[in-house]
Structure 1
Amino acid sequence: MVGLGKMGANMAERLVQGGHKVTGFDPSADARKAVAAKGVAGADSLEALVKALPAPRVLWLMVPAGKVTDDTVNALLPLLAKGDTVIDGGNSNYKDTLRRAALYAGHGLGYVDSGTSGGVWGLKEGYSMMVGGDAKTVDALKPIFETLAPAADQGWGRVGPVGSGHFTKMVHNGIEYGLMQAYAEGFSILGHKKEFGLDLHQVGEIWRYGSVVRSWLLDLTTDALGKNPTMDGIAPYVVDSGEGRWTVDEAIDLDVPAPIITASLIERLRSRDTESFSDKLLAAMRNEFGGHAIKSEAK
């Protein structure tokens, strides 16, 4: 396992619990020490990690998408031997995955992409994995995926050739954006109906059972409302991992209308504009054509 952040560490621990021998590397000595207590052997460099693994080697990458993944893939290339396989379990752009896979294929190395969902709950619940790669290579890796999944025959599968795993996960995250936005807007409407004095946590609990909008995401949303009903202390700033943007880009390239996912992405971007010039200009426009009052900005 390369990358022992929270998710990588949890995945390594789940593999150990499933009877696999796991060796992990992370630049952080503290991260290596933390997983050692869970039965994961530590390596203090990529070179040491590769030497510690029996051939043919399988290395699972759980590192940030982009430059960090490129740097790791390039650093591993001269250390690996023909027949070794790298699995990228991070949120890489599928186009980058295709490029990396072609590079590795030219050296007789396997490259598999696993779009991985499950977050901090994966250790207990298992991970949903959308796997892309050569059919024979993925078949040889089945024991790994079966251990990490919620069940051996549930929550994972080979969805197609290399690149398809990350492509599927990209769209998965785009859908997630839309679902999150719908729940957020719905609960906001409920909360603004002050005369009814609705208990949002109670409503969420009702919806969790029997309702057509029930989901694991609703379970988590309801849990959050129970802990902090008014969202005190939380800034209205929503980050995005990039996959929502990629999904919208792909929809445009494919001429596929995706208004909900696109709108949810725009709302995330909007949440970061603490000095919204466009909103100020809109207020000024209304004043110009209709004489509507303008609220003064607090100093």
Structure 2
Amino acid sequence: MEIAFIGLGRMGGNMARRLMRSGFRVVGYDHNPTAAQALAAEGLVAAASLSELVGQLSAPRTVWLMLPAGEITEATLNTLSTLLAPGDLLIDGGNAYYKDSQRRAAALAEKGIQFADVGVSGGVWGLENGYGLMYGSPEAVEGRLEPLMKALAPAPDKGWLRAGPVGAGHFTKMVHNGIEYGMMQALAEGLNLIHHKRDLNVDLAALTEAWRYGTVIRSWLLDLTAQYLASDQSLERIAPVVEDSGEGRWTVLEAIELGVPIPVITQSLYTRFESQDPEDYDERLLAIMRKMFGGHAVTKL
């Protein structure tokens, strides 16, 4: 089987590698030629342009995008829609907003081009461990997607699912990431509480390692946390800034639209926003208010 991959960064490149190791012929393109050339040494057919990439494939073609959500994905899909033919299949494996995926599928369908949206989880460990995959697609292309899912997943019969029609893949991945926010927040808050109980002097590295076995909260997140704390518990060189990819925002917006309460996920998103604010203007205002009504002292920088 053959497939084209667009976007050969760390995750996209590793997915292409995993497919090549499973016997796929992979044609690849990246705006950074070095990324494609690095994979060419491992068997990838490097293309210098999108048109060359399409020309390297036999019909019906399958093209998988691993690009950042937004403008670059939109522009690439628009270009590909002029290069592909009816019967070809476009797959978006990036973290796109599910409503964008539904809109794009409808536009491509007018040209006879099929579309699938795939939520991909696994990060930098996917090459060795396999990826968690949830996809949305027309039923007609399930047979074309199944070999890809089996090759990329942790096992042919585990870790992948057709979640529903187009949009379901990115929708379920969006909620998956929202849950991830909440799980990370709970672990961080609990360990922070223990860290501040100075008189007990708990070894967080030893504790998280012990928690990995037999406890209700054992998880891959805990595994990774324990792995890092084993080498550095002080975190003195780590800035207290936590970025958000956008999926947490989309999850909260969807909950508002549906009227479904998700307080833990929402608060975890707000905590990330707070960490990204270098001015801390609201806390400064709180200090001033407290001084003005109660005469309390203000700590000055």
Could you say which TM-score interval applies, normalised by the shorter chain?
over 0.9
- Tell whether 2:228 aligns with 1:236: no
- Tell whether 2:31 aligns with 1:27: yes
- Tell whether 2:125 aligns with 1:126: no
- Tell whether 2:296 aligns with 1:286: no
CA contact (8 A) 1:170 1:243 kept: yes
The aligned residue for residue 271 of structure 1 is: 275
Report the AA paired with residue 249 of structure 1.
L
Structure 2 distance, partners of 1:38, 1:123, is 14
Among 92, 115, 133, which residue is 1:111 paired with?
Answer: 115
- Tell whether 2:184 aligns with 1:180: yes
The aligned residue for residue 226 of structure 2 is: 222
Deviations 1:5-62 (A, max 9, x none): 0000000000001111111000111101111122211101000000001111000100
Structure 1 distance, partners of 2:191, 2:221, is 13
Structure 1 distance, partners of 2:43, 2:197, is 52
The CA RMSD measured in Å over matched residues stands at 0.8
The aligned residue for residue 144 of structure 1 is: 148
The aligned residue for residue 261 of structure 1 is: 265
SS in 2 for 1:48: helix
The aligned residue for residue 82 of structure 1 is: 86
Structure 1 distance, partners of 2:51, 2:13, is 20
SS in 2 for 1:72: helix
Structure 1 residue ranges (4+ consecutive) displaced by more than 4 angstroms after TM superposition: none
CA contact (8 A) 1:57 1:85 kept: yes
- Tell whether 2:26 aligns with 1:10: no
Report the AA paired with residue 14 of structure 2.
N
Once the 2 structures are TM-superposed, how far is the Cα of residue 139 of structure 1 from its aligned partner? 2.5
Once the 2 structures are TM-superposed, how far is the Cα of residue 289 of structure 1 from its aligned partner? 2.4
SS in 2 for 1:22: strand
SS in 1 for 2:12: helix
Once the 2 structures are TM-superposed, how far is the Cα of residue 117 of structure 1 from its aligned partner? 0.5
The aligned residue for residue 167 of structure 1 is: 171
Structure 1 distance, partners of 2:148, 2:270, is 37
CA contact (8 A) 1:25 1:46 kept: yes
SS in 1 for 2:25: coil
SS in 2 for 1:97: helix
Once the 2 structures are TM-superposed, how far is the Cα of residue 227 of structure 1 from its aligned partner? 2.5
Structure 1 distance, partners of 2:29, 2:156, is 26
Structure 2 distance, partners of 1:281, 1:214, is 40
Structure 2 distance, partners of 1:165, 1:289, is 52
Among 81, 96, 99, which residue is 2:100 paired with?
Answer: 96
Give the TM-score taking structure 2 as reference length.
0.97
CA contact (8 A) 1:113 1:166 kept: yes
Give the TM-score taking structure 1 as reference length.
0.98
SS in 2 for 1:77: helix
Q: Kindly, what percent of the aligned residue pairs are identical? A: 54
- Tell whether 2:234 aligns with 1:250: no
The aligned residue for residue 207 of structure 2 is: 203
Report the AA paired with residue 253 of structure 1.
E
Structure 1 distance, partners of 2:75, 2:280, is 37
Among 158, 182, 185, which residue is 1:154 paired with?
Answer: 158
Deviations 1:124-170 (A, max 9, x none): 00000110011220222211110000011110010000001000000
Aligned length: 297
Structure 1 distance, partners of 2:29, 2:251, is 31
Q: Which ranges in structure 2 are unaligned for 5 or more consecutive residues? A: none
Structure 1 distance, partners of 2:235, 2:263, is 28
Q: Which ranges in structure 1 are unaligned for 5 or more consecutive residues? A: none
Once the 2 structures are TM-superposed, how far is the Cα of residue 272 of structure 1 from its aligned partner? 1.1
SS in 2 for 1:23: strand
CA contact (8 A) 1:283 1:294 kept: yes
Structure 1 distance, partners of 2:231, 2:171, is 35
Deviations 1:266-285 (A, max 9, x none): 00000011211110111112
CA contact (8 A) 1:8 1:62 kept: yes
- Tell whether 2:53 aligns with 1:44: no
Structure 1 distance, partners of 2:251, 2:153, is 25
Structure 2 distance, partners of 1:12, 1:232, is 37
